[in-house]
Structures are given as C-alpha cells and as structure tokens.
Amino acid sequence: MSDVVDRLMINRAAAPGDDFNSFIDAIDLALKSEAAGKLKPEQYPRLVQELSSRPSWSFQKKTLRTEFGFMLPVSASDPVHTLENFKAGVDLLVDNQQPWVRFGIVGFEVMDAGGDGTIIWSEPALAVYDEAIRYAHGRGLRILLGTVDGEEGENTPRATHIKIMSDYWAGISQRFGEMVSVWQVYNEADVSHYRTHADVSDLSAKDYQAYLDELAEMLEVANRSIKAEHPGIMLTTNTYGYPPDRRNELRWNTFLDRLVNLLDVVSLDTYPADSLDAIVILPARVDRIATRYHKPVIIAEVGLQTTGAWNGHSQRLYLPPTIASLKAANPMAIIAYEFKDYGGSDRFGILRTDNTRKAAFRDVMAVMRA
C-alpha cells in the first residue's frame, strides 16, 4: 500500500520538466491499473494517516492552508431547519474549530415578483436570514452563501427574468454582502438547468454550448449585481460530482472553459462514496482543475450518507480518507455535506438529530485538524 500512496503523493518537484498535467495523467493511469482492488477496507486507517501527513504537491498557492467547514441549512419556513437549530449548529461548529459554514437563502421565502418584474420582499423571512448570517459572522465563521433559486416562472419573458434576478441579487448583497466571503450562484448547473432544474447532461454538444452561453449571461448579471456594493465578494458556482470520474471531469472542463472567467473561485462537489479507486484519484482530478484554470478551488460538497447501501460504519471507513485525499490537493476550503441529520432520509451528517456523534465524527475531525 505504501507504494500506492507514494505514487499518489509524489512531490511536484519530481515532475519531469513543466509538463505537470501529463505527469498527473500518468499517475492517474497507473493508479487505475494498479491500485484498484488492492487496498482492503482494513487498510484505510493507514491511508488516512499517510494522506494527512504528506506534503501537498498542488499547484495552488502555497500560502493557502486548506480550511474546513460544513453545510448547515436554515430556513424561514421549514419546521426542521429553524433559526434556533441553525444557531445551535453554529455553536457546535465553533466548538469544534470549524472556520467555514455553508448555507443558502431560499428565494421563494424572501421574495415574490410581479408581472412587471417588481420584487415584493418578505421582511419576516429576511429577518430570519438577517439573524442567521449575523450570528454566524459574529461567531467568527466565514460564510459561503448560496442563492441557488429565484424567479422560476417558465413563461416569464427573459428580459423580465433578468431584471428580477438582478434586483434580487443586488438586494441580498446590499443587505448581507459585507458578511459573506464566497457567494454561490445556482447549484450544479452543469447538469441541472439553472432556471428550470431540468436535466441538461444529455444535451447535444451544440445545445449544451448554447445553454452555457445563456448561463454565462446570467453570471455576468450576478457579478454586476452582487459586487456593485461589495466588490470583494468571491463569486462561484458549483459542479456535480457523483461519481467524480473521468466523464464528470470532462464535463467540468467543458462547463468551466466557458464560464471560469466569470468566477473568482471554482467549486467542485465530490462524492466518491465507497470507491477507493475514486478516492485515491481525487488529488489528481482537483489539481488538474486548479492548474487548468489558475483559480482557487473549493470543495463545496463532500459526504457519505448513512442510509441505503451505507451505514455509520461505512461513513467512518470511507469519509475520512476522502477528506484526507482532497486535502492533499490543497484546495482553499473543503465543506462537508453535512454537519448533522435533521430527520430526513439522506442522513449525511456526522451528528445525529440529537447531536450525538456518529462513528465517523472523531476520525473526520482528526483529518481536518491534522
């Protein structure tokens, strides 16, 4: 196993010449052909230790030290994702030395729009987000804020839609922008239509490029609207990552080739689940993105649920080495999905609904603090 780890974690200085991408491709191929199936589950704790202790070989800025955080939802209407639960979660993040929190504003809770494009704001809903953002910021957390929805009427003329979204983003930025570090617009729009949420992954190459052109226009609007008051906000949008395989990486390239100039940060979702082959390749995949686009990278989502094919033991076995592997690529931040369960069916949290720890909690925190 040490030979596999040595191949994976080899220092950039050993790369022949400056052709680092070709070098990483060679490692990728070697790992796929030699590592798959050779590591057994009982060897994973050693892999975690190795990945956490080796120096990073990333092209990303050496001044960056990877930071960590968790998804922690809040809502003005959901009876589970209440402001009180959010504040309690923030306190737990701070108690566990987590510097980042990621959550979103639910567009339909805070605004409605008339036929002429005029926004009608819900002050009671906005007050909930006011308190949530101020509380997280006041506790010293860096905020990755998402506005992933908004005006979604299929029959709304495009010009009206653009006006509504521009005013929406500007209004939220004026209200909260000074407390936000990174702002995520849309969610996994590489596979899900940014407005209708229809699947776009099977579009023809021509139609997909037309879709990206349309999305680029909206990101231009988002940049102008969000940064008018607070130009220091870093804008991003995330990409789908299950599984984080070669096919998805190629789609990331197509997506980002068109849009990266409109982003300050590249955000990747990565869900290798229980595939060791996918886990050990993660640093190469992330580093290729950082090298190709010369932008900081955030892992916006990574996690493993404790339902269906997986349980608490699976999460403990696979999630810590996944985070350690991602850490080896030296991203700006790694945001785990998510911190705790709230009674739903997914159960990605490392805490249960009553805040008791799942089996993975200690090992996940150990990797993050290493």
197-214 pLDDT, tens digit per residue, is: 999 999 999 999 999 999
Q: Is 197 helix (H, G, I), strand (E, B) or coil?
A: coil
Q: Is 72 helix (H, G, I), strand (E, B) or coil?
A: coil
CA–CA distance, 341 with 14 (Å, rounded to integer): 43
CA–CA distance, 56 with 36 (Å, rounded to integer): 23
pLDDT tens digit sequence for 84-135: 999 999 999 999 999 999 999 999 999 999 888 999 999 999 999 999 999 9
Strands 234-236 and 182-185, by their bridges, are parallel
> For the chain, what percent of residues have pLDDT higher than 70?
83
* Spatial CA neighbour of 258 closest among 209, 300, 295: 209
Choose between 42 and 265: higher pLDDT. Answer: 265
For the chain, the average pLDDT equals 87
pLDDT tens digit sequence for 271-330: 999 998 899 899 999 999 999 999 999 999 999 999 999 999 999 999 999 999 999 999
Q: Is the pLDDT confidence value at 1 over 50? A: no
CA–CA distance, 343 with 129 (Å, rounded to integer): 22
**Cross-strand pairs, 101:** 70, 143
Q: Is the pLDDT confidence value at 42 over 80? A: no
CA–CA–CA angle 31, 37, 42 (5° rounding): 110
pTM of the model: 0.85
Q: Where are the beta strands (DSSP E) in 263-343?
A: 266-269, 297-301, 333-336
* Spatial CA neighbour of 237 closest among 176, 167, 170, 295: 295
CA–CA distance, 128 with 132 (Å, rounded to integer): 6
Q: Where are the beta strands (DSSP E) in 196-344?
A: 234-236, 238-239, 266-269, 297-301, 333-336
Domains along the chain? 2-369 (3.20.20.80)
Q: What is the pLDDT of residue 257?
A: 98
- CB–CB of 313/286 below 8 Å? no
Q: Where are the beta strands (DSSP E) in the chain?
A: 67-71, 100-104, 111-113, 119-121, 142-147, 182-185, 234-236, 238-239, 266-269, 297-301, 333-336
Cis before 243 (ω within 30): yes
